[in-house]
Structure 1
């Protein structure tokens, strides 16, 4: 098995591409070892000294490390762990599924979610992350998004959020006044 790696805009997160599906139905994020209990893959990755987060996309795994460690020191252990778990043939996740997305019925919220899903999420997935639409307050014009994977904690995430996503949404949905990241 050959696993490709890619740097992400977040210097503490690397994208691992094993050439097979990982979480095709719904991306999964594991921010703590306790959350990782729901996934064999995440549990084993958190056992690698220095791993601080795991995000599983459709066909990739983004792993975040402690900023005091260098990738050359931790990367071989991460590659070995991914290879061992995938070659074991065991289920990667418990059956309960990933995080459910908010599904607006109609109006600006529905239009915003469609733009996020079709234009923004594929772009950030290329960088090892994900952005989830959490809601739209029609009174204030504020869009709430959750940034996951390589996007969470990335030095350029604020610029991406404000200059990229906010401008895109304002262009297509005049009711949008601001985009904010939420927990």
Structure 2
């Protein structure tokens, strides 16, 4: 109800960080991690690290582990975008859109 009237006591970035902390143990168990790169206009930008950043299944990991946790704490997220940290070091920013 608070979200409908834009009255949530925590801003979206705070809630997203809370969701990342919920997903972090799962990611670490797979040798990876995730950081918040930023939030703008409801679009969350994440950066995957470790084996999650270079894993071909990183978009699946992001969708299964992180997206669920983020939408649980911040259902007002418009979109989640992953900046693959390993790929960005090699060939510039690589963005994967998660819907």
The answer for the alignment partner of 2:48 in structure 1 is 147
What do the CA deviations read for 1:20-42 (whole angstroms, capped 9, x no partner)? xxxxxxxxxxxxxxxxxxxxxxx
Distance 2:24 2:67 in 1: 14
Q: Which residue is equivalent to 2:5?
A: none
**1:179 lines up with 2:80 in the alignment:** yes
Whether 1:168 and 2:72 are equivalent positions in the alignment is no
- Report what 1:130 is aligned to: 33
**Match of 1:98?**
none
Whether the 8 Å contact between 1:128 and 1:151 is mirrored in structure 2 is yes
Higher relative contact order (CA 8 A, sep 6+): 2
List alignment gaps of at least 5 residues for structure 2. Answer: 1-9, 89-99
Match of 2:18 among 111, 114, 118: 114
Between structure 1 and structure 2, the one with the greater Rg is 1
Structure with greater proportional helix content: 2
Moved over 4 A (4+): none
Superposition TM-score, scaled by structure 2 size: 0.66
Structure 1 residues 163 and 129: alpha-carbon distance in aligned structure 2, compared to 1, 3 A threshold: closer
Structure 1 gaps, min length 5: 1-105
Q: Shift in Å at residue 145 of structure 1?
A: 0.8
CA deviations 1:115-152 (Å, max 9, x no partner) are: 202x1111111111111111111x2x211111111101
Contact 1:161-1:179 at 8 Å conserved across structures: no
Q: What is the aligned residue count?
A: 75
What TM-score results when the alignment is normalised by the length of structure 1?
0.38
CA apart distance, 1:171: 2.6
CA RMSD of superposed structures (Å): 1.6
